[in-house]
Chain A
Amino acid sequence: MTRAMSTVRFLQLSGLIFDESAARHMRDFSASRWRDLRIDAASSLREMTSIIEEQRVDAVLCPGSILDDKSVDIALATEIMGRFGAVAPVPVIIAPGKNDPVHQFSLYDPAYFRRKVGGAFPRNVDVLRPGSRRTIAALPDVDFYASPAPDQLVRPDALNILLASEPHNVDLQSSIRRFSYVACGGDEIRHDLTDADENTRAAFTSLPLLTPETREYTFVIAEVDEQTASVKRITMPSSATHHLETAHTRDTFDLPGDDADEDATANKRISGRFVHRMRQLIADASSDSTEHQAILHHALRYGLDALSEETR
C-alpha cells in the first residue's frame, strides 16, 4: 500500500519516565509492580526500532515524560539517547514535560550531554523548548510546535504538529482546529479528540498505570495530512509478572509441620502442641489477608525450626 506524498506517519510515545522510582510512592504502587513497569518501559523502547521499520514511520514524536531529570543517571540517559539515535535518519522530536525541564544542565542539552557523556548528542534528536517551533530538513513541509501553542502559526499552509507535554494547560479544542495533529503526553488527558468530521486530531500516550483499562504501554501510530488524521495503537509486550503479585506469597505455603502427624507421641510434645495450635490459628485466619496468612505460616516454620534439634 502506498501513501500520498503529503501524508506523514508519526510514531508517538511518552510516559516512560526513566527512572522515577519516586512516582511509585506518590501513586502507592507496589515495588514489584513498579519494577515490572520499568522493565516494560525498557523493552518498549527496544521495540521502537522494529516498529519504525515495520510501520515506515517518518518521525517520532515524544510529548514529554521520557526522563525523570531528578533521578536518571548518566548511564541510563546515554542508553535512552542511544536508542533514539539508533533510529536515525528518522527524526525524533522531543518536547520535554514537567519531569524533564530543558536548560543548559539538562541531559537534553547537546553541549552538556557531550561534556558529561563524552559522546555526541544524537543528530536526529531535536529537543523543543516550551513555546518554540522547529522545521527539520527531512520534513520541510512540517512545522513542529511545543506547547504552549502560539497565537499565530508561522506557516498556516504547512502541516502543523503540536506536541503538548502538559495538555491540561492547552486549549485542546481550539488547538485541534488550528493544528493538523496534537500529540498529547502527560497524565491528565486520557482520551483522543476528534474534529467535526470525526477525524482524530489529538491522541494521548501516557503512563500505562494511569489507564485502568490497560496495564501495558501503548505506542500510537498517527497518519496525518492536511485534511485528515488517523490513529492506531500498538500494545507493547509486558512482563506481566505484576498480575501475579498477590499470588507469590502462596508459593511459600507448603511449610513443614506435616511430619508431626507421623509421630504418635507428638500430641504429648511441645512441638506437636505448637503445630496443633498454629494449624488452628491458620484455619481461623483463612478469611484474613494473604499477608497475615503468610505471617502465620512463617511463624509455624520459625517455631518448628527453633524447637528442632537440627537448628542447634
Chain B
Amino acid sequence: MQIRRITLNRFGRLHGTYDFQPDRCNIICEHNEFGKSTLVDAILFGLYNMPRAKATGGLRARDKYRPWSDSDTQQFGLELLVEDLDGQDYRIECDFAANNGYRVINLATGEQFSGVSSFGRHFLHMPLASFTECFLLRQGDGDENGRDELIELIQSASAGEQTSHIGAVQHALEQLRDSRSRFPEFVTSETEVPLSQELRARIEACEARIRELEDAHDKATWDAQRLTALQEAEQQLHADEAELELETAATELAEIEEQIRGGNGSHPDEGCIPAAEGGAYSKDAARDVEQMLSELEKARAELSEARRRLDEDIIDRLRRLRELESVNGVVSELPENEMERLRSRSAIYRERKAEVDRQRGQTDAMREGLGSHNIPQPDFQELEELLDRLPPGDNRILLQYESRQSEIEGQLGQAQTQSAEASAQVSYARSRRKKLRNESNLFFMGAVFLGATGCLFLLMNAVWKPALWVGLTMIALAAAAAAAGTRALKRTHLHDTMELQPALEMEARHSGETRRLTEQIENLRQEFKITTQRLHLTWDDVQLMKKMSKWSGVILPYQTARQHLTLAEKGCAEVREDIARFLRRTGFPLPRNGVTDADIETAIQQAEAGMSFDQMCEQLNAEGARLMERIEQLEATAARFEQKLEEIVGDESGTDVSQRVQSFIQKCDHAGVVQAAVADAKPPVAIEQLTERADILRTLLSDARGLSRTPVMSLEETRARLDEIRKQQQDIAAESQILSGKCERAFDACREELSGLRAEREFLLEKAARVGQTEAALAIAREQIEAAAREIFVAWAAALSKRVNEIITAVNPGYRDVEISEDLDLSVFSIEHNRRVRYREIGHLSKGARDQLALALRVAIAEYLSSHIGPLPIVLDEPFAHWDDERFMSGIQFLASLVERHQVILLSCHKWRYEQLARENPALYRELAFCQIA
C-alpha cells in the first residue's frame, strides 16, 4: 500500500497538502511543535476514521485536533489519496465537522463505497492497534531502567502490546493467578490464603456452629420433655399432698372424737387442755420455743459436724503417724550426710523427671507436626520401627541418601556443564595460540630465508653489481619479518597470559570440582551400600528409606528428639534405681523389682515427711486442740438451750426434747382455739371446743368427699410424709427452674442464629462452587496462555532471526549474528569485542546500539506482522536521535534501500544532519525526498 497525498483541512494547526514519493525515502524535517505527530495521527484517522472514545486521561481526538480558531470549525477534515495492495487508487474524504463524514471513493470508477467507516478495517482487515504496530515506529523510551527492553519489545509485539513496560504474558499470568479479585465481596480479606481454602474454612466453621446449635437443640428438646415429665410429677405430688392433708384431717378428727368420747366418760385426755390453763400456752411462747429448738438443733448439728471432723482428724493423724512411725525410725537413725544425699538425689530425680516430661512433650508436638506433611502413616510407622532397630548414626546416612544424592547430582551436572564450557574456552584459546605461534614461526622462517638470501646476494656483489642493492633490500625485509615475528610472539605470550592461562585454570578448577563431586557421590553410594550390607537391610527396607527420604528434614529431627527422650528416660531411671537402692539399704519398704515413679515419689515424700515428723506431730496436735475447743463451746451452747427449753416444756425423761416442743406447740394451738372460744363469751368448755374443731374437720372432709375415710397412718406419720412430699416438690421446682433456663437459652440461641447460619452456609457453598469454577477456569486460561506463548515465541524467533540479521549488518556493521531463542532471549555477536553479547548484557550496550537493534527488530516485526497482506508504509518518528554520524549514514542508507519493500516516511527535527549529509554524500542525499506542506 502507498500513501500518495494527504490534504489537511485545518486539522489541528496543520492546513495544506503533503505529497509522498512511492520509491524514495520521504523525510519531513521540521522543528519541534510543528505538528509532525499530528500529521501521523491525521494519516491514521484518514485510514481508520476518527475514534469517538476519549483517550485515557486526555481529550477526545475530535477535541484535540479541532481547528484552533473558532471561526474555522466548519472546516475540519482531510483527504487522503492511497493506492491499495492491488494497485487500485482510492480517495478517502473525512469531514470531521459533520456526522458520518467518512467516504471512500474508487478513483478509477468514481464509485463510493457505502457503509465503509474505516478503510483499514475494510481493505486491510486489521484493527487500528495492529495497523499502528506495523505502520508507526516511534522513538524508543525504555532506556531509563537499563533492562532488556528489546526482549520486551518482541514479547509485547507478539502479545499485541505496545505500551506495556513489563512482559505482557507474565502480567497476564500474574493476573490469572488471583481469583479473589473476581469476587469483590471477599477482596477485603487481608490474607494470602487462596479464596477457595478460606471459603472451605468458613463453611467448616459455619457447619461446626450449626452442628453445635443442632446438638444443643436436640438436648434442649430432650430437656423440655424431661421438664414436662417433672411438671407432671409435681402435679402428682400436689395431688398426694392434698390427699395427705385430708388424711391428717381424718386422723385429727378421729383423735378428737376419741377425746370427746373420753371426756364423756370423765377421763380427760392429756391433749385436752382446760381453758383455764390456756395462759401458759400462748402463741408467743410457741414461737419462742420453736426458735429455741431451732437454735438447739443448729448447735447440735454443728457439734455433730465438729465431732465428726475431730474423729476424722484423729483417725487420719493416727494413720499417718503409724505410716510415718517406721519411716521416722529409719530416718531418725540416718546420719546427716546421708539425709543430705537423699535430699540432693531426690532433687536430681525430680529435675530429670521434669526434663523427661519436657522432652516427651516436645517429641509429642513434633509427632503431631509430622501430620501436616502428609506423610503416609503406615510407611512412617514401618520406618519408625526400622530406625529404632538401627544405630542412630546410620539412620542419617540411610534416610538422607536419596536427597543428598539428588543434591550432589544436581551440583555435579552444573559443574560438568561449567567444565565443558571451560574446556571449550581452552580449546578455543589453544587454537588461537597455535595460530599466533604459526604466524610468528612463519615470520621468523621468512626472516631467516630473506637474510640468508640477502647475504648470498651481497657475496655476489663482486660479480654482479645490482646484487648489492638486492642483498641489502632482502636483509631489510628479513629484519622487518623478524620484527613482525617478534610482535606475533609477544602477542602469543600475551594471549597465554590473558586468555589461555585463565582458561586452563578455570578448566582445572571445574574439572577438580567435577572430580570432587564425583568422588563425593561415589563415597555416598559406597557408604550407603556398606551400611545397608552391614545392617543386613532388605530390599524393602532400602526402598522404604528412599521413599521416605524426601521427608528426612522432618523425620530426622523427630527421630533425634525420640533418642533424646530415650536418653533422658534412661538417665531418670538410673537416678530412680539409685534412690531405690539407697532407700532399700536404709530399710524403706520398697518392692524388690520394678520400682515405678509413683513408688519412688511416695517414698521420697514419706522420707521428707519422716524428716519433719516432729513438726507434723505438733501441727496435728494444734489442729486437734482447736477442734476440741470448738466442740466444748458448742456443747455449752447446746446445754444452755436444752436447759431453757426444759424449763418451758418440762423435764420428762425418756422423751426427746423436740417431741416435747412439738407437743407444747400443739397445746399452744389448742390453747389459741380455746382462747378464741373464751373471747366469744361462751363457756370455756374443752369438750365444746373439741366438738367445734371436729365440726370444722368434718366439713373439710365432707367437701373433699373423704368423710368416710378411715385413717391408715398416725398423725406423726402423716406429717412426716407431708414433709417428704414438700421436700420433693422443692427439689422438683429447683430442677425445673434450672432445666427451664437451659432450654430457654438453647432455643433462643437456635432461633436467633440457626436461620442466619444456614443462610450464610448456603451463600458460602454457592460462592465456593463459583470460586472453584473460577479457579479451574483461571488454571485453564493460564495453561493455554503459556502454551500459546510458547508456540508464538517459537514462530516469532524463527521469523525474526533472519531479517534482523540483514538489517543490523546494514545499520551497524559492528554487530552480526543476532540470535533470538525460542524464549525470545536476544543475543548478538560484537565484532569489536570478538564475543557474543548475551541477552542480560545487551542492557549495558550504548543507547545508540540498542536503538539500532530496536530499529532492526521493529522493522522485522512490522514486516512479519504484515507479510500476509503485503508491504505497508512505515513511518519512523525520530529514529536517529542517539545515533552517531557514521551510524546515521548507515541508517539513512538502509532506509533508502528499504523503499524497495515499503514506502518510508521519516519524521525528524535535526535539519543540520541532512545538510551535512548533502555535503558528505550527495548521491545518497539525492535518493531522499524532503516533503513540505504546500
Chain A interface residues (CB < 8 Å from chain B): 19, 21-22, 24, 31, 69-74, 76, 101, 103-106, 116, 259, 262-265, 268-271, 273-274, 276-278, 281, 291, 294-296, 298-300, 302-303, 305-307, 309, 311-312
B232 surroundings in chain A (CB, below 8 A): none
Q: List chain B positions with a Cβ less than 8 A from chain A.
A: 121, 124-127, 130, 133-134, 158-161, 163-164, 168-169, 171-173, 175-176, 182, 210, 213-214, 217, 220-221, 224-225, 227-228, 743-744, 747, 750-752, 754-756, 758-759, 761-762, 765-766, 773-774, 776-778, 780-781, 784-785, 787-789, 791-792, 795-796, 864-866, 868-869
Contact among B160, B173, B754 for A70, CB-based, below 8 A: B754
Minimal Cβ-Cβ distance residue in A for B784: A277
- Assuming the A-B contacts A104-B228, A303-B176, are A281 and B784 also in contact, with contact meaning beta carbons closer than 8 angstroms in the complex? yes
B residues less than 8 Å from A104 (CB atoms): 224, 227-228, 743
Q: Which residues on B sit within 8 Å (CB–CB) of A31?
A: 762, 765-766
Contact, CB under 8 Å: B755 / A72: yes
Chain B residues near A274 (CB, 8 Å)? 784-785, 788
Q: Determine the residue in chain B with the shortest Cβ distance to A71.
A: B754
A residues within 8 A CB of B126?
263-265
**Which of A73, A263, A298 meets B130, CB within 8 Å?**
A263
Say yes or no: A307-B225 contact (C-beta < 8 A), given A21-B759, A273-B788. Answer: no
Q: Are A269 and B159 in contact (CB under 8 A)?
A: yes
Q: How far is the CA of A74 from the CA of B749 in the complex (A)?
A: 11
A268-B754 Cα distance, complex, nearest whole Å: 57
Known A71-B755, A298-B773: A264·B778 in contact at CB below 8 Å:
no
List of A residues within 8 angstroms of B169 by Cβ: 270
Beta-carbon contact of A298 and B777 below 8 Å:
yes
A68 → chain B closest CB, angstroms: 9
- Of listed B169, B776, B795, B865, residue having the most chain A CB within 10 A: B776
Residue among B213, B751, B780, B788 making CB contact with A296, cutoff 8 Å: B780
B780 engages A264 (CB within 8 Å) = no
* Given A264-B124, A264-B869: A298 and B766 interface contact (C-beta under 8 Å): no
Contact at A291–B773, with CB atoms within 8 Å? Answer: yes
- When chains A and B are docked, how far (Å) is the Cα of A263 from the Cα of B127? 6
For A271, give its contact among B159, B176, B744 (CB under 8 Å): B159
Closest chain B residue to A103 by CB distance? B224
A312 to B159, CA, bound (A): 14
Residues of B close to A298: CB separation below 8 A: 773-774, 777
Q: Which residues of B contact A24 (CB under 8 A)?
A: 762
Cβ of B773 and Cβ of A294 under 8 Å apart? yes
Interface class of chain A by DSSP: helix
Q: By the criterion CB–CB under 8 Å, are A265 and B784 in contact?
A: no
**Contact partners of B796 in chain A: CB under 8 A:** 268
Q: A264-B126, A270-B168 are in contact. List 20 more A-B contacts (CB 8 A).
A: A69-B221, A71-B758, A103-B224, A104-B227, A105-B224, A106-B224, A262-B125, A264-B125, A268-B792, A269-B792, A273-B792, A274-B788, A294-B773, A295-B776, A298-B773, A298-B774, A299-B778, A303-B172, A303-B781, A306-B176
A270 touches B784 (CB 8 A): no
Cα(A6)–Cα(B175), bound, Å? 76
Contact flag A278-B125 (CB < 8 Å), given A71-B754, A268-B795, A298-B777: no
Most chain B beta-carbon neighbours within 10 Å: one of A31, A101, A269, A294: A269
| Cross-chain pairs A/B with CB under 8 angstroms, 25 sampled | A31-B765, A69-B217, A70-B750, A73-B754, A74-B751, A104-B228, A105-B220, A105-B224, A264-B130, A264-B868, A265-B126, A265-B866, A269-B158, A269-B792, A270-B788, A271-B160, A273-B788, A278-B784, A294-B773, A295-B773, A295-B776, A298-B777, A299-B776, A300-B781, A302-B176
Chain A: which residue is nearest B163 at the CB level? A309
| Contact A105-B743, Cβ < 8 Å, known A70-B754, A270-B789, A307-B168 | yes
Dominant SS at the B interface?
Answer: helix
Complex interface: chain B residues within 8 A of A303 (CB): 172, 176, 781, 784-785
Q: Which of B744, B756, B778, B865 contacts A105 (CB 8 A)?
A: B744
Q: Contact: B221 with A101, CB < 8 Å?
A: yes
* Cα A89 to Cα B506 with chains together (Å): 106
Contacts of A22 in B (CB 8 A): 210, 758
In the complex, residue of chain B having the shortest beta-carbon distance to the beta carbon of A76: B755
- Smallest Cβ-Cβ distance to A271: which chain B residue: B160
Q: Which of A70, A104, A263 gathers most chain B CB within 10 Å?
A: A70
CA distance A76 to B221 in the complex (A): 20
Q: Is the CB of B791 within 8 A of A299?
A: no
Verify B784–A299 contact, CB threshold 8 A: yes
Q: Is A103 within 8 A of B228, CB to CB?
A: yes
Q: Which of A19, A74, A311 contacts B175 (CB 8 A)?
A: A311
Which chain B residues border A271 with CB–CB below 8 Å?
Answer: 159-160
Q: Which residue of B lies closest to A309 (CB)?
A: B161
**Complex contact A299–B160 (CB within 8 A):** no
A289 to chain B, nearest CB (A): 12
User: Which B residues are CB-close (under 8 A) to A263?
Assistant: 125-127, 130
Bound-state CA distance A277–B788 (Å) is: 8
Q: Roughly how many angstroms separate A238 CA and B818 CA in the complex, as a whole number? A: 72
Chain B residues with CB under 8 A of A312 = 164, 171
| Across-interface contacts of A76 in B (CB, < 8 A) | 755
Q: Which A-chain residue is minimally distant from B861 (CB atoms)?
A: A268
Contact status of A306 and B765, CB under 8 A, knowing A104-B224, A273-B791? no
Contact residues in B for A270 (Cβ distance below 8 Å): 158-160, 168-169, 785, 788-789, 792
Q: B777 contacts which of A21, A273, A296 (Cβ < 8 Å)?
A: A296
Cβ of B214 and Cβ of A70 under 8 Å apart?
yes
Q: How far is the CA of A222 from the CA of B324 in the complex (A)?
A: 89
Q: Which residues of B contact A299 (CB under 8 A)?
A: 776-778, 780-781, 784
User: With A and B bound together, what is the CA distance between A307 and B227 in angstroms?
Assistant: 68
Q: Which residues in B have their C-beta under 8 angstroms from that of A294?
A: 773
- Which chain A positions have C-beta within 8 A of B130? 263-265
A268 x B865 contact (CB < 8 A): yes
A295 — which chain B residues lie within 8 A by C-beta? 773, 776-777, 780
User: Cβ of A72 and Cβ of B160 under 8 Å apart?
Assistant: no
Distance, CA A281 to CA B776, complexed state (A): 14
The docked-state distance in angstroms from the alpha carbon of A251 to that of B745 is 48
Complex contacts, A259 vs chain B, CB 8 Å: 127
Which of A73, A264, A307 sits near B755, CB closer than 8 Å?
A: A73
On chain B, the residues within 8 Å of A305 by CB distance are 175
Closest-CB distance, A11 to chain B (whole angstroms): 28
CB–CB A306/B172 < 8 A: yes
B539 CB to nearest A CB, Å: 44
A21: nearest chain-B partner, CB-CB:
B758
Q: Please, how many angstroms separate the alpha-carbon atoms of A254 and B189 in the complex?
A: 32
Distance between A241 CB and nearest chain B CB, rounded to angstroms? 15
Q: Which residues of A contact B159 (CB under 8 A)?
A: 269-271, 307
Which chain A residues lie closer than 8 Å to B776 at the CB level?
295, 299
In angstroms, Cα B241 to Cα A36, docked, is 57
Contacting pair B751 A73 (CB below 8 A): yes
Closest to B217 in A: A70
